[in-house]
Amino acid sequence: MNIKQFIIKYILKNMDHLKRNLPRDVFLHLLAVVTLYWSAISFITLCWQYVNAWFTDALNYNYGFNGNMRFAMASLFIVFPVFIIVSWLLNRIYASESQVRESKIRKWLIYFTLFLTALVIIGDLIFVLNTFLGGETTVRFMLKALSVLIVAVTVFWYYLDDVRKNTPSALGKYFAIGSCILVIAGLVGAFFIVGSPMTARQVQFDQQRIYDLQNIQSQVVNYWQRKGAMPNSLTDLQDSISGYIVPTDTQTKHSYEYIVKDSKALTFDLCAVFNLDNRGTLETQAFPKSPVQYSEYTPSFDHAAGRVCFERTIDKQLYPTLPAK
């Protein structure tokens, strides 16, 4: 056997080993695992927001409720399809190059995934038992813990079955179909909670109106304390030295309404036109009221849709006039 024949034989003998470590395979396997983790976390987050929506808790104020749900939705819209496509490509590669299933990077990533999911399952069960022994048995808590457990067990069971076999598992098709159905159902249902992008924009305009009215209210009180009289109009609040400019409606560009109802009783109205009714809705929780100068005495700005006026009366004892300097 000459040197050329020996080299050819050696290459053919080790071809399978070379194929198992192609950069293509490393890229696809890493991408599949990362998108799997991201999709699983996003789906769990989505489930938790469903629980927050259906089982409200007075002791757990849902700051950022809609923000968390929208981020989970956006992640599932982008990341989950990438996971499905990459998994499909890998299965096609396995069908034509069976040795790729034996690549070290694939084995390491799968066993690392099994390790992480095993830790999640154990930690979740310990947390549930510890919390149960502490007297916490609410449906809200149990459903959140159950969602984590179900996702972790499903991922662990599927990949444990897959890594034991030399050929793609028949469960892969059912796993993909079932996960797609669950994700699509979760995304469709979420739209009924957070609303459309147009609704979200209308909510943001309404919240900006509340911020503006709170700001104007603070300036009216400050005007009374410094001058001992109510401003006749919003233009009286303009101050070229401090740089304060009375805000206008960011959507309509119209001025807000300020009406003095009783200058002696220090009663006035602040009015604005709102897009949506936020009374008792999750949108109210999703966009908590911003703190203002007199936040602990600030009445509610919950509102109906359309033109709404908020009547305010300055308490002279709480806000006495300031002594002249």
User: Is the pLDDT assigned to residue 168 strictly greater than 70?
Assistant: no
Q: Supply the DSSP symbol for 56.
A: -
Q: Kindly list the distances between the CA atom of residue 129 and the CA atoms of 93, 124, 133, 135, 145, in Å, as whole numbers in the listed order.
A: 44, 9, 6, 10, 10
Identify the weakest region by mean pLDDT among 1-5, 147-151, 191-195.
1-5
DSSP string, 236-267: GG-BTTTTB---B-TTT-PBPEEEEEETTTTE
User: Is the pLDDT assigned to residue 297 strictly greater than 60?
Assistant: no
Task: State the Cα–Cα distance between residues 284 and 279, nearest whole angstrom.
Answer: 7
Question: What's the pLDDT tens digit per position in 206-230?
Answer: 989 999 999 999 999 999 998 888 9
Identify the weakest region by mean pLDDT among 48-52, 61-65, 150-154.
61-65
Do residues 62 and 52 make contact, with C-beta atoms less than 8 angstroms apart?
yes
- What single-letter amino acid sits at 250? T
Confidence of residue 287 (pLDDT cuts 50, 70, 90): very low
Question: Which of 26-59 are b and which e, b meaning 16 or more Cβ less than 10 Å from the residue's Cβ?
Answer: eebbebbbebbbbbbebbbbbbbbbbbbeeeeee
List the Cα angle 278/267/271 in 5-degree steps: 35
Torsion over CA of 141, 143, 148 and 151, rounded to 10 degrees? 180
List the Cα angle 132/135/140 in 5-degree steps: 70
Q: What pTM, to 2 d.p., does this model score?
A: 0.66
Secondary element (H or E) of residue 270: strand 267-274
Question: What's the pLDDT tens digit per position in 69-123?
Answer: 888 999 999 999 999 999 888 888 887 777 777 778 888 888 999 999 999 889 8
pLDDT at 284: 44
Average pLDDT of the chain is: 81
User: What is the share, in percent, of the chain residues with pLDDT greater than 90?
Assistant: 32
pLDDT at 5: 57
User: Is the pLDDT assigned to residue 293 strictly greater than 80?
Assistant: no
